[in-house]
Amino acid sequence: MRIPLPALAAAALLLAGCASPALKIDTSHESVVQASRVQFLILHYTDEDFEKSLDILARQGRVSSHYLVREDPVEIYQLVDESRLARHAGESYWAGVSRLNASSIGIEIVNPGYADTPEGRVYAPYPQAQIDAVIRLSKEIVARHGIAPEYVLGHADIAPGRKQDPGPRFPWRQFAEAGLILWPDAAQVEERLAFHRSHPLPDVAWFQQRLAAVGYRVPQGGALDPATRDVISTFQMKYRPSDIAGEPDAETAALLEVVSTPGGMRRL
């Protein structure tokens, strides 16, 4: 049966009359108590070449990142809007906050990571032009969201042992020189190094307590277990990359004491 056009028009008008009016929201009052939901900036290496990295992060549907920084030519790709969650951090923790995907922006840096050789594990360097681009992008992200220097981190920091990126070849000191993170005060480190070289090394529990004070998730049982070694190694990657064996030693103790003591970190 065909319904006459006048009847269809009348039905449409009736339905329109029944529809709810648009919800009116007054936006003229803005609270002074607010901030960006983004608290952390997390830096990664891809452990793959550019084409494979792009496929993994943009097409495969398992993981993602807000940005991907290519090495040759140096190019920046935005894969996820900063207002949306990207799945780059995985199981993660820093300074009492876990599952950092919900509160972070991730930058993936195209870099092959490391190769295990007969001489040991060898990490790939980062081209300076690529680092320059990452620093510029990081500055813009930090400024947009008001991210604190202590919340600009590597993937290894928030998942020690499970992750190594961005690795010991990543130039964290350049990030400090660019004002993105703080750096241990050299004079204090030298003073504490002299002390620790002339005194018995603190016990493992001391290292664990200090690492936890910095922000790492680390066991607190006083045993030098694999998890504790992983965290020590991760700390060394950032501040003493020449030796990342995860062994407690005088230099690591000096750096850790300064990093974990109020007033020990400085802007370069």
Question: Mind giving me the DSSP string for 189-245?
Answer: HHHHHHHHHHSPPPPHHHHHHHHHHHT-----SS---HHHHHHHHHHHHHH-TT--S
Distance between first and last Cα of the chain: 82
- Classify residue 160 as exposed, middle or buried by CB count within 10 Å of its CB (0-12, 13-18, 19+): buried
218 and 132, same domain (yes or no): no
Tokens of 120: 């040991």
Domain boundary among 131, 154, 177: 177
For residue 227, give its domain range. Answer: 183-266
103 and 192, same domain (yes or no): no
204 and 257, same domain (yes or no): yes
Average pLDDT over residues 133-161: 98
Average pLDDT over residues 80-84: 98
191 and 209, same domain (yes or no): yes
| Closest to 162 (Cα-Cα) out of 124, 217, 207 | 217
Asked if residue 75 belongs to a domain, the reply is yes
Q: Does residue 249 carry a pLDDT above 90?
A: yes
Question: Is residue 91 annotated as a catalytic residue, yes or no?
Answer: no
158 and 203, same domain (yes or no): no
- State the CATH number of the domain containing residue 140: 3.40.80.10
83 and 188, same domain (yes or no): no
Domain boundary among 158, 177, 196: 177
Tracing tokens 């004491």 back to the chain, one arrives at 257
119 and 191, same domain (yes or no): no
59 and 160, same domain (yes or no): yes
189 and 171, same domain (yes or no): no
127 and 148, same domain (yes or no): yes
Q: Cα angle at 216 between 210 and 220, to 5 degrees?
A: 60
pLDDT-based confidence at residue 4 (cuts at 50, 70, 90):
low
Asked if residue 128 belongs to a domain, the reply is yes
Catalytic residue (one of 51, 71, 91, 108): 108
Amino acid at the residue 253: A
Residues above pLDDT 70, as percent of the chain: 93
* Overall domain count for the chain: 2
Average pLDDT over residues 87-109: 97
Instruction: Quote the pTM value.
Output: 0.91
133 and 191, same domain (yes or no): no
pLDDT digits (tens, 9 = 90+) for 50-80: 999 999 999 999 999 999 999 999 999 999 9
- State the CATH number of the domain containing residue 220: 1.10.101.10
150 and 216, same domain (yes or no): no
